C-alpha cells in the first residue's frame, strides 16, 4: 500500500484518509494507542530493513553510495605506489551530455570513517550540480580496506596520478580540472596541490579542517579531545588492537558523541513520528552512515600526530619523504573555502585559521600570488555542507557555474556571498541566485578565527606531551598489545564494535524479524489516521522536546567541563615544566618561514611589471578599464565580473586558452596595484596597437556595465572617462587613414 502523506489542507488528519475515513472516531486515547502501536511496528520493520541493507552493502565488492552510473578509469592498486583509491568517470544521462569543451571537475570524498559517495549521494549533490552545468565529471573514491603499508604520501601521489589522467583525457583550453575536496579530502587535496600545483585548476574545499588548534572558547570542544586523553598514544593502541588497522567506526562514534540529543533520541524519534513518509530518506542516509572503512596504522598516526595534534599543515612544517616542504603558499590555483557556523566538526576557525597562520598581512598574500575566496553558511551542519539539497542548489551551483570567473580572480582574499531574490510563491529558480564577490583582507579573516596565543600555547603543550606519552607507550605497552591482539582477535573486536552491533542485531537473521515483517505488511493495509490535534500526540511532541532539551543541557555541561579541565591541566605549572614551556611569553610556534630567495623574486617581478606597463593591446586596456571602474565597488556580482571573460572574445565560453587569459588578467591587476596612474595613462598607447573594430568591441563590452543596474556616481564617472579614452583611440585611428 502506498504510504500516506501529510494532509495540511484541512489541519485535522495527519495522513490522507483511506477507506477507514468513514469509520467512527475512537476516543483520543484509544485512537492514539492504535496509532502508536502501528507506528512501533512500522518503525521496527524499517530498522529490520536497515539491518538487511547494512549486510548487503557490506558484502559489495566496492561499497559506496554513489547515485550516478560510473566507469573505472584507474585503480590505485595498479600504481607504482599502490593504494586503495580509484578514479571513476561519471556517466552523464543522455539528456544532459557533457560538453568536452568545458573544464572537467573531480570530486573527492573524505576517508574519515565512512565509505565513499557522499558527494554524489543524490541528484541534488555536488556531482549532480556539475552534471547539470555540462562539465565532464570524475570521482575519486576508495575501498574499505587499505593496501598494506600505504601512507598518506602514497595517497597524495595517487591523487596526482589521477589528475594527470584527467588532464590527458581532457586537454581542455578552458583550464586545468576543478577539484572539490570534502572534509578530510580537503586538506589532503591541498597537500597534493602544494606538492604538484601545475595539475590543478580552482580548488573548492568544503567543511575541511585545516587549522586544528583554532576555535572559539565555549564552543566546539572536539579540539580538546587529544589533550584530555594525553595525546596520540591511544590512537596507536587502537591501531595495534586492530592488528595494524584503525577502525573508522571509532571516528564515527566521536562524531555521534558530539550531539547526544540527535544520536540517542532525535534521529530515531523523527523516524518514529513520521514513519509513513520518512523511511526512504532514513534508509538512504543509514546506508552511508553505516559503511565503515579502515585506515592503516601509519596513515592514522600521521593524521593525528601531524594534523590533529601537531597542527603542522597550517604552518608549513610538514615535509615529504624526500625532504620537500608541504607549503600551502605554493598553490597557484584559487582556493574556495566553504564552511558553516552550524558545523561542530569543522567550525569556521578551523576552516580558515590556516590563512592567519600563514599570512601576516595582505601584502604577504599578494607577494605569494595567492587567491583565496571564503564563503560561510549561517546554520547548516557538517554533513549538510556536502549532502543538503538546498546547499547544492545554491552554493555549489553558483561555485560550479562561475568556476571560470573564480579562476581569473587576481591575487588577494575575497568573500563570496549568494543573494536570494525576493520570491513570493514557489521555489527560487537557480539562475535567480546571484553570486557576489567582495574584496576582503587578513584582518576580516582574523575577526572570524579570533586567534588566541594563550590557547595555542596550551595546544603546543598537548603536542609535546603527546610525544612523551607515545614514546612511553611504544617502549612499554606496544609489544604486549601487538602480541595479544592477533588478526583473529582484531576481527572479533571490530565485529563487536557497538555501532556495528546496532545494525547487525536486528535484520532478517534475527528469528523474530519475520513476525515483524508480516505484521508490518498488515499494518500498512489497515493504517488508521490520527488527527494533528489529538492531545496525546501533542503530549508526545512535548515529551520529545523535553528529552531533547535535557540531553542538550547535559551536552553543554559536559562540554563546559571538558574545556575547564583542559585549561586547568595545561595551564598548570607542572604541565609547563613537563612540556618544556618555561616562559609564558614565548610563542607556541614560530611563524612559517619563506623561501630564502622570496624577496629577490618579488623585486624581480616588480621590475618586470614596470616594464610591462606600456605593453599590450585593446584586451589589456579593457581589463585595466574594468579594474579601474570597479575600484569603488564594495562587491562585484557575477554578471559584472563575467565581463572580464566576455572581453576576450564574444563567445568566451567556447574553447579559448583560459590559462593565458588568466595570466593576462592577473598581470594587469598587479600592474594596476603597482602604479594605477601610469597604467591608466598608458591606455592610449595600448589602444594604438589595435584596429578600430577591435577597440569598439572592447569598449562595447566595458559599456555593458550599465546593463546590470545603476552605477554609483563614482563608477559612472570612471566609466565615462574610460569610454572617452576608447572613443579618442578610434578617432585617432580614423585620422591616420589616408
Strands 105-108 and 137-142: parallel
Report the CATH superfamily, name and number, of domain 70-213+311-451.
Alpha/Beta hydrolase fold, catalytic domain (3.40.50.1820)
* pLDDT of 669 strictly over 70: yes
Give the span between the Cα atoms of 91 and 96, in whole angstroms: 10
Residue 309 near residue 231 (C-beta atoms within 8 A): yes
> So what's the pLDDT on residue 1?
37
pTM of this prediction? 0.92
> So what's the pLDDT on residue 390?
87
Q: How many CB atoms lie under 10 A from the CB of residue 710?
A: 8
Percent of the chain topping pLDDT 70: 91
Give the span between the Cα atoms of 613 and 299, in whole angstroms: 50
pLDDT tens for residues 190-225? 999 999 999 999 999 999 999 999 999 998 889 999
Please count the CA atoms within 13 angstroms of the CA of 519 that sit on its side-chain side: 16
Please count the CA atoms within 13 angstroms of the CA of 281 that sit on its side-chain side: 13
Query: Phi/psi of residue 319, each to 5°?
Result: -135, 150
Q: Give me the torsion for CA of 474, 477, 481, 482, rounded to 10°.
A: 30
Closest CA to 671 of 621, 601, 724: 621
pLDDT tens for residues 540-587? 999 999 999 999 999 999 999 999 999 999 999 999 899 887 665 666
Query: How much of the chain is in helix, strand and coil states, percent to nearest 5?
Result: 55, 10, 35
pLDDT tens for residues 1-59? 334 433 433 444 444 444 444 444 568 899 999 999 999 999 999 999 999 999 999 99
Q: For 234-256, what is the mean pLDDT?
A: 97
> So what's the pLDDT on residue 658?
78
More confident residue, 648 or 380: 380
The three grid cell numbers given for residue 379, joined into one nine-digit string: 546554520
Mean pLDDT, rounded, of the chain: 89
> So what's the pLDDT on residue 587?
66
Give the span between the Cα atoms of 233 and 209, in whole angstroms: 22
The three grid cell numbers given for residue 31, joined into one nine-digit string: 485512537
Bridge partners of 247, per DSSP, are: 294
423 pLDDT tier (thresholds 50, 70, 90): low
> So what's the pLDDT on residue 24?
44
DSSP 353-417: HHHHHH-SSHHHHHHTT-EEEEEEESS--TTHHHH-HHHIIIIIHHHHHTHHHHHHPPSEEEEEE
Max mean pLDDT range (174-183, 227-236, 419-428) = 227-236
Query: Phi/psi of residue 617, each to 5°?
Result: -135, -150
Q: For 654-665, what is the mean pLDDT?
A: 75
pLDDT tens for residues 286-310? 999 999 999 999 999 999 999 999 9
* pLDDT of 618 strictly over 50: yes
> So what's the pLDDT on residue 212?
94
Q: How many CB atoms lie under 10 A from the CB of residue 601?
A: 12
388 pLDDT tier (thresholds 50, 70, 90): confident
Could you tell me the strand order of the sheet in which 137-142 lies? 70-75, 85-90, 137-142, 105-108, 178-182, 203-206, 335-340, 371-377, 412-419, 434-439, 636-637
pLDDT tens for residues 108-123? 999 999 999 999 988 8
pLDDT tens for residues 715-726? 899 999 999 999
> So what's the pLDDT on residue 69?
95
The domain limits of the chain are 70-213+311-451, 598-736
* pLDDT of 135 strictly over 60: yes
> So what's the pLDDT on residue 732?
83
Please report the beta strands in 255-328, taking only residues with DSSP state E, as ranges in sequence order.
294-296
Give the span between the Cα atoms of 140 and 144, in whole angstroms: 14
639 pLDDT tier (thresholds 50, 70, 90): confident
pLDDT tens for residues 438-497? 999 999 999 999 999 999 999 999 999 999 999 999 999 999 999 999 999 999 999 999
Q: Which residues of 157-167 are buried (b: 16+ CB within 10 A; e: fewer)?
A: bbbbbbbeebb
Residue in this structure with the C-alpha cell 536486528, named with its chain if needed? 506
Give the span between the Cα atoms of 388 and 338, in whole angstroms: 14
Q: How many CB atoms lie under 10 A from the CB of residue 104?
A: 25
The three grid cell numbers given for residue 32, joined into one nine-digit string: 492514539
CA 345 vs. chain centroid, Å, equals 12
Give the span between the Cα atoms of 215 and 221, in whole angstroms: 9
Amino acid at each position: 500500500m502506498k504510504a500516506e502523506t501529510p494532509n495540511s489542507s484541512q489541519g485535522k488528519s495527519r495522513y490522507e484518509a483511506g477507506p477507514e475515513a468513514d469509520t467512527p472516531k475512537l476516543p483520543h486515547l484509544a485512537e492514539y494507542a492504535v496509532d502508536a502501536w502501528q507506528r512501533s511496528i512500522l518503525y521496527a520493520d524499517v530498522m529490520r530493513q536497515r539491518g538487511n541493507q547494512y549486510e548487503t552493502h557490506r558484502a559489495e565488492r566496492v561499497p559506496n553510495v554513489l547515485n550516478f552510473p560510473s566507469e573505472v578509469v584507474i585503480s590505485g592498486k595498479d600504481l607504482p605506489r599502490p593504494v586503495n583509491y580509484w578514479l571513476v568517470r561519471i556517466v552523464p544521462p543522455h539528456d544532459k551530455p557533457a560538453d568536452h569543451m568545458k573544464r572537467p571537475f573531480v570530486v573527492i570524498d573524505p576517508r574519515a570513517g565512512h565509505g565513499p559517495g557522499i558527494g554524489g549521494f543524490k541528484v541534488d549533490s555536488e556531482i549532480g550540480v556539475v552534471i547539470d552545468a555540462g562539465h565532464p565529471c570524475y570521482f575519486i573514491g576508495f575501498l574499505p580496506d587499505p593496501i598494506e603499508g600505504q601512507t598518506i604520501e602514497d595517497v597524495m601521489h595517487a591523487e596526482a596520478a589521477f589528475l594527470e589522467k584527467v588532464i590527458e583525457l581532457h586537454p581542455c583550453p578552458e583550464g586545468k580540472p576543478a577539484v572539490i575536496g570534502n572534509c578530510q579530502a580537503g586538506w589532503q587535496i591541498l597537500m597534493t596541490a602544494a606538492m604538484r600545483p601545475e595539475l590543478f585548476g580552482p580548488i573548492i574545499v568544503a567543511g575541511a579542517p585545516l587549522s586544528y588548534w583554532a576555535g572559539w572558547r565555549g564552543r566546539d570542544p572536539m579540539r580538546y579531545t587529544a589533550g584530555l586523553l594525553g595525546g596520540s598514544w591511544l590512537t596507536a593502541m587502537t591501531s595495534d588492537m586492530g592488528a595494524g588497522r584503525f577502525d573508522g567506526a571509532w571516528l564515527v562514534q566521536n562524531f555521534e558523541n558530539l550531539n547526544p540529543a540527535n544520536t540517542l533520541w532525535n534521529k530515531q524519534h523523527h523516524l518514529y513520528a513520521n514513519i509513513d513518509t520518512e523511511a526512504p530518506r532514513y534508509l538512504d542516509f543509514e546506508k552511508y552512515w553505516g559503511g565503515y572503512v579502515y585506515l592503516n596504522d601509519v596513515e592514522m598516526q600521521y593524521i593525528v600526530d601531524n594534523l590533529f595534534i601537531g597542527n603542522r599543515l597550517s604552518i608549513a612544517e610538514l615535509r615529504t619523504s624526500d625532504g620537500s616542504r608541504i607549503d600551502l603558499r605554493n598553490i597557484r590555483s584559487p582556493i574556495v573555502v566553504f564552511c558553516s557556523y552550524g558545523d561542530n566538526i569543522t567550525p569556521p576557525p578551523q576552516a580558515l585559521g590556516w590563512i592567519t597562520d600563514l599570512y601576516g598581512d595582505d601584502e604577504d598574500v599578494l607577494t605569494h600570488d595567492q587567491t583565496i575566496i571564503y564563503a560561510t553558511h549561517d546554520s547548516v551542519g557538517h554533513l549538510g555542507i556536502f549532502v543538503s539539497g538546498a546547499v547544492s542548489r545554491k552554493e555549489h551551483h553558483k561555485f560550479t557555474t562561475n568556476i571560470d570567473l573564480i579562476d581569473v580572480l587576481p591575487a588577494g582574499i575575497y568573500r563570496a556571498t549568494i543573494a536570494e531574490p525576493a520570491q513570493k510563491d514557489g521555489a527560487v529558480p537557480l539562475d535567480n541566485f546571484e553570486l557576489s564577490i567582495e574584496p576582503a583582507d587578513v584582518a576580516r579573516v582574523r575577526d572570524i578565527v579570533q586567534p588566541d596565543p594563550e590557547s595555542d600555547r596550551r595546544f603546543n603543550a598537548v603536542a609535546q606531551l603527546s610525544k612523551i606519552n607515545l614514546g612511553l607507550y611504544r617502549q612499554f605497552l606496544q609489544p604486549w598489545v601487538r602480541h595479544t591482539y592477533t588478526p583473529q582477535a582484531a576481527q572479533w573486536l571490530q565485529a563487536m564494535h557497538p555501532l556495528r552491533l546496532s545494525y547487525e542485531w536486528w535484520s532478517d537473521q534475527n528469528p523474530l524479524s519475520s513476525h515483524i515483517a508480516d505484521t508490518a505488511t498488515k499494518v500498512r493495509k489497515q493504517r488508521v489516521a490520527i488527527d494533528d490535534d489529538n492531545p496525546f500526540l501533542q503530549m508526545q511532541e512535548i515529551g520529545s522536546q523535553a528529552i531533547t532539551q535535557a540531553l542538550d543541557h547535559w551536552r553543554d555541561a559536559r562540554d563546559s567541563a571538558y574545556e575547564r579541565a583542559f585549561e586547568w591541566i595545561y595551564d598548570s605549572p607542572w604541565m609547563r615544566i613537563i612540556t618544556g614551556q618555561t616562559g609564558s611569553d614565548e610563542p607556541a610556534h614560530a611563524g612559517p618561514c619563506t623561501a630564502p630567495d622570496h624577496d629577490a623574486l618579488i623585486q624581480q617581478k616588480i621590475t618586470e611589471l614596470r616594464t610591462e606597463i606600456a605593453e599590450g593591446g585593446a584586451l589589456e586596456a579593457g581589463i585595466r578599464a574594468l579594474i579601474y571602474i570597479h575600484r569603488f565597488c564594495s562587491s562585484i556580482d557575477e554578471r559584472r565580473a563575467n565581463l572580464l571573460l566576455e572581453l576576450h572574445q564574444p563567445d568566451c565560453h567556447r574553447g579559448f586558452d583560459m590559462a593565458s587569459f588568466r595570466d593576462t588578467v592577473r598581470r594587469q591587476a598587479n600592474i594596476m596595484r603597482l602604479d594605477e596612474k601610469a597604467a591608466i595613462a598608458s591606455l592610449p598607447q595600448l589602444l594604438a596597437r589595435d584596429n578600430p573594430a577591435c577597440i569598439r568591441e572592447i569598449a562595447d563590452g566595458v559599456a555593458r556595465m550599465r546593463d546590470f543596474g545603476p552605477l554609483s556616481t563614482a563608477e559612472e564617472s570612471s566609466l565615462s572617462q574610460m569610454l572617452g579614452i576608447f572613443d579618442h583611440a578610434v578617432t585617432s585611428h580614423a585620422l591616420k587613414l589616408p
